[in-house]
């Protein structure tokens, strides 16, 4: 969490683990969805099978408030295996970045630059965890843009992925800007830590927000959150 928030300037978010039917279809393993028995609103009908939809909703709600957004979440997904009749949960670090790039002659080069920077974030995380021999391969997933996504592997084990959100899903979630998404397979990192314990060091992240002071600001509806964020940055407050 410290690597992402302090080193790469991502903001941590917290979401419920509920999902709609559309959310449950986000990734190709969506048939493993678990329906909640209690009466729930339609958008909370299932346990989530992917960490991405929650991130997309956070971006949608804030895309008019900030020029750019960089967020991450440490969360769980829940899956049902019809073959063996059991459920299991998986843990991920989900990352998403909303780019302030408009269509122009040089937009593709700007997107490529941002994508490389986004990929670099993953490389930094793995490097900080003393996993230098990371393999990167082109991957094909329905939720990612073709030819603009990669998988990260350690000794042929997939430990992460990153790429540009597929235009189809970008439209479904109402995102008007180019969006980058990716995730780190936390459970796989735990398994790897057992085999390379001598050079693998990290603390398991907390599932709860840190106990810090929150400040609420009442502002005019026409004002942009970005203006307030810039004003705080310009003050250069050491504690922030």
| Tens-place pLDDT, residues 189-207 | 888 877 765 555 555 656 5
Q: At which residue do the structure tokens 């419920």 appear?
A: 16
Alpha carbon distance 209, 15 (integer Å): 11
Model's pTM, two decimal places? Answer: 0.79
Largest interatomic CA distance in the chain: 58
What is the signed CA dihedral for 151, 152, 158, 159, rounded to 10 degrees?
A: -120
| Inter-residue contact 126 to 186 (CB < 8 Å) | no
DSSP secondary structure letters along 198-240: GG----PPPSS------------TTS-HHHHHHHHHHHT-TT-
pLDDT at 230: 83
| Tens-place pLDDT, residues 10-46 | 999 999 999 998 998 898 655 678 888 876 787 888 9
pLDDT at 99: 93
Q: Which helix (H) or strand (E) holds 127?
A: helix 107-128
Burial of 9 (0-12, 13-18, 19+ CB in 10 A): exposed
Phi, psi dihedrals of residue 48, rounded to the nearest 5° = -70, 140
Of 2-6, 80-84, 106-110, 121-125, where does the model show the most confidence? 121-125
Of 54-58, 66-70, 102-106, where does the model show the most confidence? 54-58
| Tens-place pLDDT, residues 76-94 | 999 887 766 678 889 999 9
Alpha carbon distance 166, 141 (integer Å): 9
Would you place residue 208 in the very low, low, confident or very high pLDDT band (cuts 50, 70, 90)? low
pLDDT at 79: 86
């Amino acid at each position: 969490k410290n690597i992402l928030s302090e080193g790469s300037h991502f903001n941590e978010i917290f979401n419920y683990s509920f999902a709609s039917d559309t959310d449950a279809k986000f990734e190709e393993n969506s048939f493993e969805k678990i329906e909640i028995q209690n009466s729930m609103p339609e958008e909370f009908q299932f346990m989530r099978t992917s960490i991405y939809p929650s991130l997309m909703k956070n971006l949608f709600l804030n895309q008019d408030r900030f020029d750019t957004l960089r967020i991450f979440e440490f969360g769980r997904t829940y899956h049902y295996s019809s073959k063996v009749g059991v459920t299991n949960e998986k843990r991920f670090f989900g990352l998403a970045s909303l780019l302030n790039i408009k269509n122009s002659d040089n937009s593709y080069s700007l997107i490529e630059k941002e994508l490389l920077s986004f990929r670099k974030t993953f490389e930094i995380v793995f490097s900080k965890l003393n996993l230098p021999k990371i393999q990167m391969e082109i991957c094909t997933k329905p939720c990612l843009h073709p030819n603009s996504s990669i998988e990260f592997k350690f000794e042929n084990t997939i430990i992460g992925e990153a790429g540009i959100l597929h235009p189809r899903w970008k439209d479904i979630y109402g995102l008007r800007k180019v969006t980058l998404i990716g995730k780190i397979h936390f459970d796989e990192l735990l398994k790897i830590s057992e085999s390379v314990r001598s050079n693998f060091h990290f603390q398991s992240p907390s599932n709860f927000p840190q106990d810090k002071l929150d400040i609420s600001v009442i502002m005019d509806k026409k004002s942009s959150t970005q203006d307030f964020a810039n004003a705080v940055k310009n003050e250069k407050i050491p504690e922030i």
